[in-house]
């Protein structure tokens, strides 16, 4: 392997062949708000197959959950319904990650596709029209979040960049760099949030599409980079042992978000548009799955496993 490639992999912290592919499940809870406090109730299994189930997002009506599932080294778009049934929607020859409903559309999702050539770009998917490419020149895309017709993109590189783009307009403008993977729509605002890495810790920031300005907020707990908005002011995250929540704009203490079901190694979080449900990705009490000992391509190392 060329020296430059080795150095770049070390800088990015990319997985090696010996790294483990996480065995992750998804639960959904009801969020109970009581006098300014929150608690969780009524846990329901969304995905608990042996292997990778991850990157949940809610439908616009807050009923269904879309997620990525890997089977036979292939990641597809799946949909869970309140009846408890899960369905493979895409069944494509490629791998799709981060399925996300596009605001203002019917049955249209955006997804990060790992194409046949190994390129990672943002595509749309619908069961009627199949796949359509968005922003052909913007790559490699890792994650994304919509706010109306605007989208924030996590673009892989040294360092990783936050870029913003608009539906129907080619190209994307750089806003920030050295960012974390978690991009979220800010409730009741034409804005997205992200984290800026400062001395190994993740600080919340907001980018407002209307003013085109960024606002600095509080830091997440040490070791945490994933979060979701409970309302316009409060975020929920994982502190290493439990779910916690706090005011994103104040450096006050984090409060425990009580869960009726034990959780461990929580990563991705998603709150439904109506604020009534929380989807949680966690690692069950079982051995993680190992990546096969085989040659891994340059782009495969960039795949958004989490």
Q: Is the pLDDT of residue 112 over 80?
A: yes
Sign for the CA dihedral angle at 247, 250, 252, 254 comes to positive
Read off the CATH number of the domain in which 179 is found: 2.120.10.30
Residue predicted with more confidence, 4 or 40: 40
- Containing 46, the helix (H) or strand (E) segment is strand 37-47
Q: Which two tokens stand for residue 131?
A: 């796949």
**Residue 305: inside a domain:** no
- Mean pLDDT across the chain, nearest whole number? 89
pLDDT at 306: 53
Helix (H, G, I), strand (E, B) or coil at 78: strand
List pLDDT tens digits, range 127-152.
889 999 999 999 999 999 999 999 99
Is the predicted pLDDT of residue 305 greater than 80, yes or no? no
In a domain, 229, yes or no: yes
> Which pLDDT does position 36 carry in this prediction?
81
Q: State in Å, rounded, how far the first CA of the chain is from the last one.
A: 25
pLDDT in tens, 152-173: 999 999 999 999 999 999 999 9
Rounded-to-integer distance, Cα 285 and Cα 265, Å: 10
Q: In this predicted structure, which of 5-14, 225-234, 272-281 has the lowest mean pLDDT?
A: 5-14
Q: Which long-range contacts (CB under 8 A, 24 or more apart) does 15-18 make?
A: 15/291, 15/301, 15/305, 16/301, 17/291, 17/293, 17/294, 17/296, 18/291
Q: Which residues pair with 110 in a beta bridge?
A: 100, 124
Residues 237/221, Cβ–Cβ less than 8 Å: yes
* Within a domain: 9: no
When pLDDT is averaged across residues 30-37 and rounded to a whole number, the result is 91
Q: Is the separation of the CB atoms in 59 and 102 below 8 Å?
A: no
Give pLDDT tens digits for 56-101. Answer: 999 999 999 999 999 988 999 999 999 989 999 999 999 999 999 9
Give 8: exposed, middle or buried? Use CB within 10 Å, 0-12, 13-18, 19+: middle
Please name the residues in contact with 147: beta carbons below 8 A apart, sequence gap of 6 or more: 103, 185, 186, 189, 190, 191, 192, 209
Question: Is the pLDDT reported for residue 29 higher than 90?
Answer: yes
Tens digits of per-residue pLDDT, 235-247?
999 999 999 999 9
Claim: this prediction has a pTM higher than 0.85: yes
Say if 215 falls within a structural domain.
Answer: yes
- Residue 269: closest CA among 219, 227, 241, 223: 227
- 166: its two tokens: 């608009």
CB atoms under 10 Å from CB of 115, counted, come to 15
Per DSSP bridges, beta strands 201-208 and 191-198 are: antiparallel
CA-to-CA separations, 172 to 40, 131, 178, in angstroms, rounded:
38, 20, 17
Q: Which residue has the higher pLDDT, 286 or 74?
A: 74
Any domain includes 303:
no
* Both structure tokens of 276: 């009534």
Nearest-angstrom CA–CA distance, 52 and 55: 10
For residue 41, is it within any domain?
yes
Give the list of residues 6+ apart from residue 120 with CB closer than 8 angstroms, or none: 112, 113, 114, 139, 140, 141, 142, 156, 299, 302, 303, 304
Q: In the predicted model, is pLDDT for residue 288 greater than 60? A: no
Range of the domain at 142: 23-290
Residue 234 in domain? yes
Contact 104, 133 (CB under 8 A): no
Cα(236)–Cα(221) distance, rounded to whole angstroms?
Answer: 11
Q: What percent of the chain has pLDDT over 90?
A: 81
Residues 284, 287, 291, 292: is their CA dihedral positive or negative?
Answer: negative
* Residue 156 included in any domain: yes
Provide, rounded to the nearest whole percent, the portion of the chain with pLDDT above 70. 86
Residue 20 pLDDT grade (very low, low, confident, very high; cuts 50, 70, 90)? low
If pLDDT is split at 50, 70 and 90, which confidence band does 285 have? Answer: confident
Number of domains in the chain: 1
CA 103 to chain centre: 17
Which residues are paired to 150 by β-bridges?
147, 166
What single-letter DSSP state applies at residue 301?
A: G
């Amino acid at each position: 392997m060329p020296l430059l490639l080795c150095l770049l992999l070390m800088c990015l912290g990319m997985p090696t062949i010996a790294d483990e592919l996480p065995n992750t499940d998804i639960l959904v809870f009801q969020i109970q708000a009581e006098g300014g406090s929150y608690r969780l109730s009524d846990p329901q299994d969304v995905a608990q197959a042996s292997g990778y189930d991850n990157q949940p997002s809610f439908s616009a009506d807050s009923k269904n959950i879309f997620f990525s599932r890997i089977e036979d080294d292939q990641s597809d778009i799946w949909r869970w319904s309140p009846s408890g049934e899960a369905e493979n929607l895409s069944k494509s020859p490629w791998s799709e990650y981060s399925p996300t409903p596009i605001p203002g559309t019917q049955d249209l999702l955006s997804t990060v596709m790992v194409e046949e050539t190994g390129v990672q770009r943002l595509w749309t998917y619908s069961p009627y029209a199949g796949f359509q490419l968005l922003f052909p020149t913007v790559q490699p895309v890792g994650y994304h979040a919509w706010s109306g017709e605007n989208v924030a993109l996590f673009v892989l590189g040294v360092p990783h960049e936050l870029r913003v783009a608009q539906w129907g307009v080619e190209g994307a403008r750089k806003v920030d760099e050295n960012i974390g993977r978690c991009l979220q729509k800010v409730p009741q605002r034409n804005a997205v949030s992200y984290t800026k890495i400062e001395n190994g810790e993740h600080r919340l920031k907001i980018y407002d599409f209307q003013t085109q300005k960024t606002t600095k907020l509080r830091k997440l707990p040490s070791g945490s980079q994933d979060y979701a908005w409970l309302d316009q002011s409060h975020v929920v995250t994982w502190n290493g042992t439990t779910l916690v929540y706090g005011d994103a704009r104040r450096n006050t203490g984090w409060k425990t978000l009580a869960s009726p079901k034990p959780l461990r190694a929580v990563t991705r979080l998603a709150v439904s548009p109506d604020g009534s449900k929380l989807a949680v990705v966690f690692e069950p009490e079982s051995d993680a799955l190992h990546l096969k000992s085989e040659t891994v391509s340059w782009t495969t190392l960039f795949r958004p496993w989490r």
